[in-house]
Structure 1
Amino acid sequence: MTRYALITGASSGIGLAMAEALARRGRNLILVARQRDRLESIAIELTQRFGVEVLFRACDLGEPLRLSGFLLELEEGERQIDLLVNCAGIGTSGPFLGQDWMTEQDLIEVNILALTRLCHAIGNSMALLGGGQILNVASIAAFQPGPWMSTYYASKAYVLHFSEALRVELKKCSIKVSVLCPGPTRTGFFSRAQMDEQKLIDSKLLMSPEEVALYAVRALDRNRAIIIPGRRNRWLAALPRLGSRWLVRTIAGMINKAYCPR
């Protein structure tokens, strides 16, 4: 039976770069995102370039009923998934009390609830198959609190800790769990989070999605638990452990506030 890598958030950014990196290695793919037209063109392109089978499903992971339908479709189908890559994510910036609640709820639904549900459903399928691999995408934001992006930072801390815990639990099922914690990456994240993109987009501190994806797939080969692409980002992830909690959250708040919408 043919096996597939399922990638959420596959229409752009790190998700798209992961799809290309895995297709280049001959992996068959199932791509999931909101934009059907975009997914269809990506699927055609990857199939033509790499000769792999690329399926796609337009699904808003922030809507539980649609996610339920998608998971039921996977359960009733004959396609086996031996790699799950949870890339889908949402960011917001600005004062928490000034945020539209529905946007905040959507962030929690996608970043936390959908990711957790996919791990549960597909993890159970992998256990029946005798093993598999899960890669959840967090951020170096996961290592500290983030005033003016409080919900986003907290959601990524959840992904980090949840993934580390699953790694221990699922080892007995031969399921390998890793968590990718990239630093700032040259994607559409900043504009979608309504941050000041001009201050960031030309920064030499940003990695490209392709660099992040290449580092990630190589780290998956080595079964790394926590994957942090870039020496500078590994240094930034370690810094919060060296300072007081007060200092860490104060500095993070100052940096985030500088890039928030006025």
Structure 2
Amino acid sequence: MTRYALITGASSGIGLAMAEALARRGRSLILVARQRDQLESIAIELTQRFDVEVLFRACDLGEPLRLSGFLLELEEGDRQIDLLVNCAGIGTCGPFLAQDWMTEQDLIEVNILALTRLCHAVGNSMALQGGGQILNVASVAAYSPGPWMSTYHASKAYVLHFSEALRVELKQSGVKVSVLCPGPTRTAFFRTAQLNSEKIEKSGSMMSPEEVALHAVRALDKNRAIIIPGRRNRWRAFLPRLGSRWLNRTIVGMVNKTYCPR
């Protein structure tokens, strides 16, 4: 029976790079994102380049009813998923009280609720079939409170802690859980979150999605619990432990404020 890797947020950024990295290895894929046209062209391209089966499903994970429909399709279908990659994510920037609430709610629905629900549904299927692997995408932002990006940082802290806990719980069932914590990555995230990425670009600390995906795939082979691509990003995750929480949130707030629109 063919086994599939299910990737959310697969139309761009790290999700797309993960799809290409896995297709290069001969993996059959199920790609999920909001943009149907983009998914269709990506599926055709990956199929032609790597001679693998690539299925796709346009689904807005921020809408619980659509996610329920998609999960029902998976449950009733006969396709076995042995790798779940939760890449879909949203970011916002600026004072929390000034944010449009529906945008904040969408962030919570996608970054937290949809990810958790997919882990529950697909994780149960994996446990029944005797094993599988889950990769949840968090961020180095998970290691610090983030004034002016408060909801985003909090959502990624949830993903980090949830994934680590799930790894322990599912070990007996043969399901391996890892969490990817990239730093600044050259994706559409900065544009959609309305962040000014010029300073980060000039510092040379941005990684490409392809670099992050390659690091992630290699770390999955080794069943790493926490995957942090790049030495600078590992320092970003480690340094908050050295100072007080007051100092940590103050510094991160000052940095975030410089990237947010005035």
- The residue number in structure 2 matching 1:112 is 112
CA distance in 1, matches of 2:125, 2:43: 24
- The residue number in structure 2 matching 1:86 is 86
CA distance in 1, matches of 2:83, 2:172: 17
- The residue number in structure 2 matching 1:244 is 244
- The residue number in structure 1 matching 2:176 is 176
Equivalences for residues 36-55 of structure 1 within 5 A: 36-55=36-55
CA distance in 1, matches of 2:55, 2:80: 13
Taking structure 1 as the reference length, the TM-score comes to 0.99
Bigger mean CA deviation after superposition, 112-121 or 192-201: 192-201
- The residue number in structure 1 matching 2:63 is 63
CA distance in 2, matches of 1:218, 1:149: 30
CA distance in 1, matches of 2:136, 2:181: 9
Query: Does the residue aligned with 2:78 lie in a helix, a strand or coil?
Result: coil
CA distance in 2, matches of 1:112, 1:203: 31
1:193 is displaced (CA, Å) by: 0.2
Structure 1 residue identity aligned to 2:67: L
Bigger mean CA deviation after superposition, 188-197 or 138-147: 188-197
CA distance in 1, matches of 2:177, 2:183: 20
Structure 2 residue identity aligned to 1:94: G
Deviations 1:48-67 (A, max 9, x none): 00000000000000000000
Equivalences for residues 97-176 of structure 1 within 5 A: 97-176=97-176
Query: Does the residue aligned with 1:106 lie in a helix, a strand or coil?
Result: helix
CA distance in 1, matches of 2:8, 2:60: 10
Query: Does the residue aligned with 2:26 lie in a helix, a strand or coil?
Result: coil
CA distance in 1, matches of 2:152, 2:84: 22
Query: Does the residue aligned with 2:10 lie in a helix, a strand or coil?
Result: coil
1:201 is displaced (CA, Å) by: 3.8
Q: Does 1:31 align with 2:37?
A: no
- The residue number in structure 1 matching 2:196 is 196
Structure 1 residue identity aligned to 2:63: E
CA distance in 1, matches of 2:203, 2:20: 25
How many residue pairs get aligned? The number is 262
Bigger mean CA deviation after superposition, 198-207 or 159-168: 198-207
- The residue number in structure 2 matching 1:256 is 256
- The residue number in structure 2 matching 1:209 is 209
1:144 is displaced (CA, Å) by: 0.8
CA distance in 2, matches of 1:189, 1:31: 19
- The residue number in structure 2 matching 1:224 is 224
CA distance in 2, matches of 1:220, 1:22: 11
- The residue number in structure 1 matching 2:234 is 234
What are structure 1's unaligned runs of at least 5 residues? none
CA distance in 2, matches of 1:190, 1:37: 22
Structure 1 residue identity aligned to 2:58: A
Q: State the 4+ residue runs in structure 1 displaced beyond 4 angstroms.
A: none
CA distance in 2, matches of 1:148, 1:98: 10
CA distance in 2, matches of 1:50, 1:201: 32
1:202 is displaced (CA, Å) by: 4.5
CA distance in 2, matches of 1:128, 1:236: 38
Taking structure 2 as the reference length, the TM-score comes to 0.99
Structure 1 residue identity aligned to 2:11: S
Do the aligned partners of residues 202 and 39 (structure 1) sit closer, same or farther apart at CA in structure 2, a change above 3 Å counting? farther
Structure 1 residue identity aligned to 2:225: A
Deviations 1:147-190 (A, max 9, x none): 00000000000000000000000000000000000000000100
Query: Does the residue aligned with 1:89 lie in a helix, a strand or coil?
Result: coil
What are structure 2's unaligned runs of at least 5 residues? none
Structure 1 residue identity aligned to 2:30: I
